[in-house]
Structure 1
Amino acid sequence: MQTAATDVRAARDELTELDRRVGDGDHGVNMDRGLSAVVERLDDPALPPRETVGQVLRLAATTLMSTVGGAAGPLYGTALLRASKVTDRPDLSASGVVSMMEAAVEGIVARGHASVGEKTMVDAWQPAAEAAERAEDAEDVADVLRAAAEAAAAGAEATVPLVATKGRASYLAERSAGTQDPGARSSAIILAAAVTAAEGRDA
């Protein structure tokens, strides 16, 4: 979460510009604010320490829901809340990462009623979950996360030519083509941050 907050802050202007083209123009600012709030709560000595992955994800979920405006807060919040229910352990194995990814996708789909090809964050998360499952036999958890992150990045990039049929971008119809979906892009950034964090832990 700390790495994600740093990386999203660095990409804030990029995300805002993408959202300006197809949405409200505030995705970068909203995600920066939300993840910064998550880190503040994780570092708050007045709160009890989080001892499991699930506890961290649950705190992140509730914080994003309360601080990120638009559709992103509820979507990310639901994804992480679902993921928290299958990760109540101090560390994740490869199979634990797969379960986390699958639960997150289920949460996003349940909340947003979107599917791959509709130019939403599902276009990043669904291939990420599928890639994690294919890489489940890898010995290193970072390898599973890397497979997921690379698939998410490719999925986000693949939204560029798509015409949005869900969310605010769908109001633009054909004009939404040519711009990467900002939610898919921020998803790819966050999953890449998970790889960085895992590699740092292993080192």
Structure 2
Amino acid sequence: MTDNVSFKQLVAWLHEFGTLVNQNKSYLTELDSAIGDADHGANMARGMTSVLNLVDADGADGVGTLFKKAGMTLVSSVGGASGPLYGTFFMKFGTSTGAADQLTPEQLAAALRAGLDGVLARGKAELGDKTMVDAMVPAVEAMEKAFGEGESLAAGTAAAAEAARQGREATIEMLARKGRASYLGERSVGHQDPGATSTAYLFEALAASVDKA
């Protein structure tokens, strides 16, 4: 048995993420109503429903095609900043993986790093700005560290999920410096960032999909 992540597991990741987003749609909207446009939950739920409608689990076109299609779907179906940012993440992930039908832990980490780099380039946010970046950066770094130390696929994805959760929690006391929340100034402090919250779901979904296999 290899410690690679299969195409089936990656499809399951998208399904699990979609499920978490839909289950927490109202919560994401509640978070966004405090410091944003009150549409993050609805937008992400609509986008992931569209993504899952196109997922073809037979793997004929490879991981890259799947994730590039997912990314383009999010860009075209999700309003606000989240569509372009999550769409870019998935498209860069897919570009990194190419036509592979499974990924080694190192390839998975590299694809996630490519996705993160795409988000950083598009959104221009940095750590501490109170955005999805505050959950995504520590998650990717934790996975890279775990795999660099020879940890298993399950351990690496679990480490990423935990780091994303901690990053999400850390946004509560941050002063927003990007996006709509930045208009609130000091009033943004004390509120958890909705983008960081959905990003934590993204990595929780990945860990769960690997763990179930």
TM-score, structure 2 as length reference: 0.89
Compute the displacement of 1:20 (Å): 0.3
Compute the displacement of 1:143 (Å): 1.8
* Unaligned residue ranges in structure 1 (runs of 5+): none
Is the Cα–Cα contact under 8 Å of residues 138 and 160 in structure 2 kept in the other structure? Answer: yes
Establish whether residue 86 from structure 1 lines up as the match of residue 99 from structure 2.
no
1:56 alignment partner in structure 2: 66
User: Equivalences for 1:187-198 in 2 at 5 Å?
Assistant: 187-198=199-210
**CA distance in 2: counterparts of 1:141 and 1:115, whole angstroms:** 28
1:179 alignment partner in structure 2: 191
Establish whether residue 148 from structure 1 lines up as the match of residue 160 from structure 2.
yes
2:136 alignment partner in structure 1: 125
Deviation per CA, 1:123-153: give whole Å up to 9, x if none.
0111111101111144532221111111111
**CA distance in 1: counterparts of 2:56 and 2:111, whole angstroms:** 23
Establish whether residue 168 from structure 1 lines up as the match of residue 173 from structure 2.
no
**CA distance in 2: counterparts of 1:50 and 1:113, whole angstroms:** 35
Q: Which has the higher helix share?
A: 2
1:5 alignment partner in structure 2: 18
**CA distance in 1: counterparts of 2:60 and 2:43, whole angstroms:** 24
**CA distance in 1: counterparts of 2:118 and 2:145, whole angstroms:** 21
Compute the displacement of 1:57 (Å): 1.2
Report how many residues are paired. Answer: 198
Establish whether residue 24 from structure 1 lines up as the match of residue 37 from structure 2.
yes
Task: Flag as ranges the 4+ runs of structure 1 deviating above 2 A.
Answer: 48-53, 137-140
TM-score, structure 1 as length reference: 0.93
Deviation per CA, 1:43-91: give whole Å up to 9, x if none.
59xxx95542222211110010011100000011111111111112111
- Tell me the SS of whatever aligns to 1:160: helix
RMSD, matched Cα: 1.5
* Unaligned residue ranges in structure 2 (runs of 5+): 1-13
**CA distance in 1: counterparts of 2:35 and 2:77, whole angstroms:** 21
Compute the displacement of 1:187 (Å): 0.5
Residues 138-147 or 27-36, more deviating: 138-147
Establish whether residue 42 from structure 1 lines up as the match of residue 44 from structure 2.
no
**CA distance in 1: counterparts of 2:56 and 2:37, whole angstroms:** 31
1:70 alignment partner in structure 2: 80
Percent of residue pairs identical: 44
Is the Cα–Cα contact under 8 Å of residues 50 and 56 in structure 1 kept in the other structure? Answer: no
Establish whether residue 101 from structure 1 lines up as the match of residue 112 from structure 2.
yes
**CA distance in 2: counterparts of 1:58 and 1:69, whole angstroms:** 18
Is the Cα–Cα contact under 8 Å of residues 72 and 87 in structure 2 kept in the other structure? Answer: yes
- Tell me the SS of whatever aligns to 2:211: helix
